[in-house]
Chain A
C-alpha cells in the first residue's frame, strides 16, 4: 500500500474485554514497530519486529499485551483483560531497514470504558 494502515481507527471496549489492533505496513518493509501514545505524552515503544520475529519486546507493559507478525507483513497487537489505563493511541511504524525513515500509521485510538 501507499502507507502504513492501521485498523480500526477507533475502538471502544469494556473493561475486561479482549481487543486486537491491526497494522498493515508498507510493502517490503521488514521492520515493524508498535508504540503507545497517551494523552499529552510522546509515543512510547512497545515492541519491534524484524521479519516474523520479535527482536525487542522490552516495552510491553505486562503479559496482557502480546503481538504477532506471522508472515512478516501484517502485525496484530493483542490486549487481554483490558483496563482503563490501556486507553491510548496505538501507533504502528515500518521501515525498510537501518538508516531509513520510519513511516507511521495514523494510529488506533483505544478507549476502555
Chain B
C-alpha cells in the first residue's frame, strides 16, 4: 500500500528565512505527487503538483518542490518565508493514471516568527 511520511510535525522559521519541508513516499511506481496547504478554518489549497517531466515544479505563493526518484522524496521549498505562510502543509500521492484517491501524510505545522 502506498504511504507518505512527513517526518517533521512542527517547524518554526523566522520571517525571511528559507524553508524546506520534507516528504517521502512509498509506492511501487512513480506516483503523482502533491503539496497542499491548510490554514485554520480553511479548506485544502493545492500549492503544486508533479505528474511527469521536469522534476523541479513551481507552484503558487513562491513555493517549489523537487521530485527525487532515487530518494522517493518530494520536498517543498521556499527561499523566503512570509508570516502569512504559517499554516499546515500536507504532502499527498496518487497512483499513476489519475482518478484515484489521494494518500496524505500527517502534515507539518509551520510557525513563522516575526
Contact = CB atoms under 8 A, between A and B. Distances in A.
B46 interface: yes
Contact of B107 (A41, A56, A59, A97): A41
Interface string A92-113: 0100011111111111000000
Given A43-B44, A91-B44, A50 B99 contact: yes
A99 B102 CA distance: 12
Interface of B: 4, 32, 36, 41-46, 49, 51, 90, 92, 97-107
Contacts of A31: 99
A101 B101 contact: no
A86 B29 CA distance: 33
Interface string A53-88: 001100100000000000000000000000000000
Nearest to A43: B104
A100 B46 CA distance: 11
B111 to A, nearest CB: 15
